[in-house]
Amino acid sequence: MRAYLRKAWLIAWKDLVSEWRSREIFSIMAVFALLTILIFNFALELSSVNRVEVAPGLLWVTFIFAGLLGVNRSFAREQDQGNLAGLMMAPVDRSAIYLGKLIGNLAFIASVEAVTLPLFAALFNVAVPVWPLAVPLFLGTLGFAIIGTVFAAMSVNTRLRDVLLPVLVLPIFVPVVIAAVKASSTAFARRSLLEEARHWLGLLVTFDVLFFTLAMLLFDVILEE
Amino acid sequence: MEAITSPVGRQGEAGVSRLDTVRRLLGWASVPLLAFALYMAFVYAPPEATMGNVYRIFFFHMPSALASFAGFFVTFVASIGYLKTRRQGWDIWAVAGAEVGIFFATAAIVTGSFWARPVWNTWWTWDPRLTTVTIMWLTYIAYLMLREAVDDPERRARLAAVMGVIAFANVPLVWLSARWFRTIHPVLFGGNNPQAKGDFSLAPSMVVALMAGMVAVLVLWGYFLVRRVQLEQERARLVQRYREEGERGHL
How do residues B15-29 score in pLDDT, each as one tens digit? 568 899 999 999 999
User: How many whole angstroms separate alpha carbon B78 and alpha carbon A64?
Assistant: 31
pLDDT category of residue B220 using cuts at 50, 70 and 90: very high
**Would B11 be classed as within a structural domain?**
no
Structure confidence at residue B185 as a pLDDT band (50, 70, 90): low
Residues B93-142: tens digit of each pLDDT:
999 999 999 999 999 999 988 888 888 888 887 778 888 899 999 999 99
Q: Do B155 and A172 touch (CB under 8 A)?
A: no
The yes-or-no verdict on residue B14 having pLDDT over 60 is no
pLDDT for residue B189 is more than 80: no
Residues of chain B with Cβ-Cβ distance to A171 below 8 Å are 135, 138-139, 142, 167
Distance from CA of B127 to the nearest CA of A (A): 13
Print the domain residue range for A145: 2-222
Residue B189 lies in a domain: yes
Q: What are phi and psi of B149, to 5 degrees?
A: -85, 0
Residue A195 touches chain B, beta carbons under 8 Å: no
Of B30, B178, B67, the closest CA to residue A178 belongs to B178
CA distances from A133 to A115, A117, A140 (A): 15, 11, 11
ipTM for this model:
0.91
Instruction: Write the pLDDT tens digit of every residue in B197-206.
Output: 566 677 788 8
Residue B165 lies in a domain: yes
**B2 located within any domain:** no
CA distance A87 to A145: 20
Report the C-alpha gap between B171 and B173 in whole angstroms.
5
Query: B115 is in which domain, residue-wise?
Result: 17-45+54-248
Contact flag A159-B151 (C-beta cutoff 8 Å): yes
Helices B88-119 and B204-248: angle between axes, nearest 10 degrees: 140
Question: Containing H/E element for A219?
Answer: helix A198-222
Does the CA dihedral A86-A87-A91-A94 come out positive or negative? negative
What is each CA distance from A174 to A60, A166, B174, B205, B215, in whole angstroms? Answer: 12, 12, 7, 39, 33
Residue B13 has pLDDT above 50, yes or no: no
Q: Is the pLDDT higher at B201 or at B8?
A: B201
Residue B6 has pLDDT above 60, yes or no: no
User: To probe the interface with A, which of B166, B171, B181 has the most A CB atoms within 10 Å?
Assistant: B166
Residue B118 falls inside a structural domain: yes
Q: Which residues of chain A have pLDDT under 70?
A: 47-49
Residues forming beta bridges with residue B48, ordered by sequence position: B52
The mean predicted confidence, pLDDT, of chain B is 85
Instruction: Judge whether A213 is closer than 8 Å to chain B, CB to CB.
Output: no
The percent of residues above 70 in pLDDT, for chain B, comes to 85
Contacts of residue A180, Cβ cutoff 8 Å, sequence gap at least 6: A60, A136, A137, A139, A140, A143, A200, A204
Residue A197 and residue A129 in contact, taking contact as beta carbons nearer than 8 Å:
no
Q: Are A171 and B135 within 8 A, CB to CB?
A: yes
pLDDT at residue B3 in the model = 47
Calculated CA dihedral for residues B37, B41, B45, B50, nearest 10 degrees: 160
Measure the CA–CA gap between B140 and A225, rounded to whole angstroms: 25
**Structurally, how many domains does chain A consist of?**
1
- The reply to whether A43 touches chain B by the CB within 8 Å rule is no
What are the CA-CA distances from residue B226 to residues B27, B76, B115, B153 (Å)? Answer: 10, 16, 30, 21
Residue B201 lies in a domain: yes
Q: What is the pLDDT of residue B195?
A: 54
The Cα B45–Cα B59 span in angstroms is 10
> How far is residue B183's CA from residue B173's CA, in Å, rounded to a whole number?
16
- What's the burial of A210, exposed, middle or buried (CB within 10 Å: 0-12/13-18/19+)? middle
CA distances from B30 to A123, B62, B214, B215 (A): 62, 17, 11, 9
Distances (CA, A) of A28 to A14, A71, A141: 19, 12, 18
pLDDT tens, residue by residue, B205-216: 888 889 999 999
Closest CA to B131 of B177, B85, B71: B177
Show residues of chain A in contact with B102, CB under 8 Å: none
